[in-house]
Amino acid sequence: MKSALKSGVAAIVLLAAVPASAKTVTIAALPGQVGIPFYTSMQCGAEKAAGEFDVKLTWDGPPDWDIAKQQPFIDAALQLKPEGVILSPTDSGALVSQVEALEKAGTPVITVDAPLDKPVETQSIQSNHYLGGEAAGKAMGEVAGGEGTFVVVGMRPGLPDIDARVKGFIDSFSKANPKAKILPVLYPETSSTKAAQQVAAAIQANPDIKGVYVTHSAAAEGASAAILEAGLRGKIKLVSFDADPQQIRDLRDGVYDALIVQEPYQMGYDAVKNLAAILRGEVKKADVQHDHFLPSVVVTRANMNEPSIKAAFYKTSCK
């Protein structure tokens, strides 16, 4: 059965078709990272909407989640003076002033995946990260029980989306399982190698580890490798965000026990659709609801073959 985590925040209702007289609009999309299934899925949704709503779309970003690597792509895109911008902010604080300047100059910005520290953009489209963390905590309790030691893997401190996934898990799991011990959060950045090393060290130092919760796919790759290397597949329960193809295969094979799957395709689609409508004056900026939360899906071996669940799995190409 499909488990969806839904927000009470409604999306804005937009026109379903482009009027024949509407001009092509230009939008620059700046993902936080390219070459990973999450953002490939988002790109597929964005390109689908671009075709439907007569948008000239560019899509370019860094290979790693790093503001120093993303900034040159931002600068290059803005030199072309797009009418609108879709941005996945790799630094929620440093990019506030740039987005604020774009908005004041008349260039609407929609952020996707991660929010800014201040709501200066026209709209923010993302998962409800805290609720996703809560769902992970519930899933972990169901598969691992409420006693023993547990590991939480973040990315780096100060990222509002990842921090919310961490907090949601810790809040819900510790409340429901007061006898459980949660170790200090591990921060491997986006390095699967660092994640493998950190989780392996935690396993060696804590032989009673019952479960590992991971907040993003890059770290999940390392965490799963550490569990397999220790010969503890199925004994240490693994719950993670995301649904890369390898994660889906590993869920089927018993490496993972649950995945918290986001909707990156819909993020990309909605961002292009909404921004095109704003640029054409079909929707006034003042009428746009800032927070547009998309549901997440809890995927387990029990439900992973359901068509509605399989549709949420991430893509490696748009073909």
Tens of pLDDT, residue by residue over 254-280, are 999 999 999 999 999 999 999 999 999
Q: Is the pLDDT of residue 190 over 50?
A: yes
Give the whole-angstrom CA distance, residue 238 versus residue 120: 37
CATH code, residues 3-127+263-295: 3.40.50.2300
Angle between the N-to-C axes of helices 245-252 and 217-229, in degrees from 0 to 180, rounded to the nearest 10: 40
Indicate the DSSP class of residue 282: S
Q: Match domain 129-261 to its CATH number in 3.40.1280.10, 3.40.50.2300, 3.40.50.300, 3.30.1050.10.
A: 3.40.50.2300
**Is residue 177 within 8 Å of residue 136, measured between CB atoms?**
no
Question: CA separation (Å) from 234 to 35, 72, 224?
Answer: 30, 43, 11
CATH 3.40.50.2300 segments of the chain = 3-127+263-295, 129-261
Q: Is the pLDDT of residue 7 over 90?
A: no
- Percent of the chain at pLDDT > 90 equals 92
pLDDT band at 20 (very low <50, low <70, confident <90, very high): very low
Residue found by looking up tokens 């509407």 in the block: 22
**Is residue 270 within 8 Å of residue 11, measured between CB atoms?**
yes
pLDDT recorded at residue 15:
42
Give the whole-angstrom CA distance, residue 160 versus residue 318: 29
Give the whole-angstrom CA distance, residue 36 versus residue 93: 24
Give the whole-angstrom CA distance, residue 201 versus residue 181: 17
pLDDT recorded at residue 319:
86
**Cβ partners under 8 Å of residue 101, min gap 6:** none
Which tens digits make up the pLDDT trace of 202-252? 999 999 999 999 999 999 999 999 999 999 999 999 999 999 999 999 999
pTM of the model: 0.88
